[in-house]
A = this chain, B = another copy of it.
Amino acid sequence: MADVAALAGVSTQTVSRVSMGLDNVRPATRDRVLAAMAELGYAPNTAARALRYGSFRTIGVIAHRLARTGESRTVEAVVEAARKEGYTVTLIDVESPSSDVVSAAATRLSHQAIDGLVIIRAETASPDTLALPPRLPVVVSDSRFVGHHPAVGADQADGARSATQHLLDLGHRTVHHVAGPSDSIPAQLRTEAWRTTLDAAGSPVPEVVEGDWTSASGYDAGRRLAADPEVTAVFCANDEMAAGVLRALHEAGRAVPGDVSVVGFDDILLAGYLWPPLTTVAQDFDEIGRRLVARLLQQVRSGEVEDDGDTEDLHEVIPVELLVRQSTAPPR
């Protein structure tokens, strides 16, 4: 900046005025400064600006297994929403969703330049053992933090309910369930709603087969289910596991949806192109991302950190939609 000022024959303050686009600079002077900037390849120093303003216009995002499932969709939506607000996103991908790892990530991020933090599915982290930097605005997606921090999440229960009910309505006697890991909150919510729906319909509640969200675990679960001729309908806690179940059923020679109907959860991009195209519960990841950012920036701007207070209205639930494709049909 000093170089630019010297070259243009003005003070640094005038350079600053030009680079900020203020209009109280004489056009001739402005041109000289702009020319000097171009010649020297000057760009304002972000660190100094951030120091001056006390803000980076950046939010941090902690995600787990970015390459999977709705994670990347949510991150994409958060990035997009942040961009529209003039914020950039700094990303950390943790290998494990446990408290200490997430804590470490949050601490590391807060030492970086962020104005607020979005935690996406810190599934197994507990709010009690999670040490977050004080005074840092935080929002979370589905997780155990609901009630401790402002949260935005899909309507897990309604999704699981409508998936299960859809299968019951088709005439299935009951619905088997391939669950997510039992320490995951969304997995718990989905399993719980599935159970409740079966109970309400007076259907027997089969034993849960637990997976770990991966297709491989779904495949294992599917092999077990395929061996049981009683199984005519399966609700999987996510689409990846559903894909594994489909493969296992195909291999066992059980027709889908002729012999067994399958429903997934998430509506991943490939869901409509599995064979058969998968009936699933679509989460509105875009809306979740937008609302996460909106809630976070609200805190950032007000300088207030919402917590522990009104636990109820801190949790925002985004509706889901059951997409009926071709993997479900009445039982034979």
Contacts and interface: CB of A to CB of B under 8 A. Distances in A.
A96 to B, nearest CB: 13
Contact of A75 (B66, B88, B112, B215): B66
A270 interface: yes
A92 B81 CA distance: 11
Contacts of A90: 58, 88-91
Interface string A203-220: 000000000001110110
Contacts of A260: none
A215 B47 contact: no
A93 B79 contact: yes
Residue picked from A50, A108, A215, most chain B C-beta under 10 Å: A50
Given A111-B44, A247-B277, A93 B66 contact: no
A41 B108 CA distance: 15
Contacts of A274: 243, 247, 274-275
A110 B111 CA distance: 20
B88 A215 contact: no
A112 B58 contact: yes
Nearest to A77: B67
Contacts of A67: 72-73, 75-76, 269
A83 B93 CA distance: 9
Interface in A64-87: 65-68, 72-73, 75-76, 79-80, 83
A15 to B, nearest CB: 15
B270 A215 contact: yes
B41 A273 contact: no
A135 interface: yes
Interface of A: 41, 43-48, 50-51, 54, 56-58, 65-68, 72-73, 75-76, 79-80, 83, 88-93, 108-113, 133-135, 214-216, 218-219, 240, 243-244, 246-247, 250, 268-270, 272-277
